[in-house]
Structure 1
C-alpha cells in the first residue's frame, strides 16, 4: 500500500471549510469530480455509508470511519470495484491566518497517482474564499 499527502491553503474561514466537508450535499460544490452523493444523513459521522457518483458516472462506495468535529478531522474508506483507498482529511488555521487542508491518502500507487490531480484541484476549491466554492 502506498501513501501520498496533498495540501492546500486559502482564505475561506476554517469553520466554513469544515462545513463543506461535514455536509455531503456540499461535496459537489467544491469537488469537480463528484456529480452527486447518495447518503442517508446530513452530516458525516462514523459508520455513515453511501455512494458518490463521479463525473464520468462511476459509482464509488464509501464508509466514514472517524470524525473529530472539534479538531476538524475525518477519515473514510472508498471503494470502486477492486480499488480501495483510505482518505484522511484535516482542516487547520495556519499561522498567517489562512485555512489549510491536508489529505493523506493510502491505497494502490496507480490509484493515488490517478486521483492526485482531481483531489488537488478539489482541495484548492475547498479553501478558496468568496462565493466560488
Structure 2
C-alpha cells in the first residue's frame, strides 16, 4: 500500500526542515514519539536507531537518504516483521511551508499510521513556539 499525506502551515521551510533534521526535536511535533535513540542527533544517510512511540513501542529505523539542500529524506522502519519506507519533503509555500509524506508498506501498518502522520505533519509546519 502507498499513501501520501501533506500539510501546509506558517513555519518557514527552514524551520520545518530543522524540526525533521534534529532528532531531539521530533517529540515536539510528533505526539506519538516519546524518544529517539541513535548515535547521532542529526539525520544522515545510514543512521540507525530506535524510535520510542507512546512510551512502550520500539521501532528500529535506518535513514536511507538525506538531501539537506532539497529538504528531503527517506527512511525504513520495522514494525515487528513488517517494513515501511517513508519519504519526506519540505518546501516553501506562501510565506510558510508545505510538507509531504509518502508511506509505502503493508496496508496492515500503513492504513492506521496515516491519520497519525497527518496530525504530526500539521504540527511540523505549525508556528514556532511563542508565535501565533
Q: TM-score range by the shorter chain?
A: over 0.9
In structure 2, C-alpha distance between the alignment counterparts of 1:80 and 1:56, rounded to whole Å: 15
Q: Tell me how far 1:130 sits from its aligned partner.
A: 3.2
Q: Which residue of 1 aligns with 2:117?
A: 119
User: C-alpha deviations, 1:55-112, integer Å up to 9, x for none?
Assistant: 0511000000000000000000000211210000000012x22200000000001211
SS at 1:71 equivalent: coil
Gaps of 5+ in 1: none
User: C-alpha deviations, 1:36-62, integer Å up to 9, x for none?
Assistant: 000111210000000001105110000
Q: Over the residues paired in the alignment, what is the CA RMSD in angstroms?
A: 1.1
Counterparts in 2 of 1:1-133, with a 5 A limit? 2-94=1-93, 96-131=94-129
In structure 1, C-alpha distance between the alignment counterparts of 2:5 and 2:80, rounded to whole Å: 24
Gaps of 5+ in 2: none
In structure 2, C-alpha distance between the alignment counterparts of 1:87 and 1:51, rounded to whole Å: 15
Extract structure 1 runs of 4+ deviating beyond 6 A. Answer: none
In structure 1, C-alpha distance between the alignment counterparts of 2:41 and 2:80, rounded to whole Å: 26
Q: What's the TM-score once normalised by structure 2's chain length?
A: 0.95
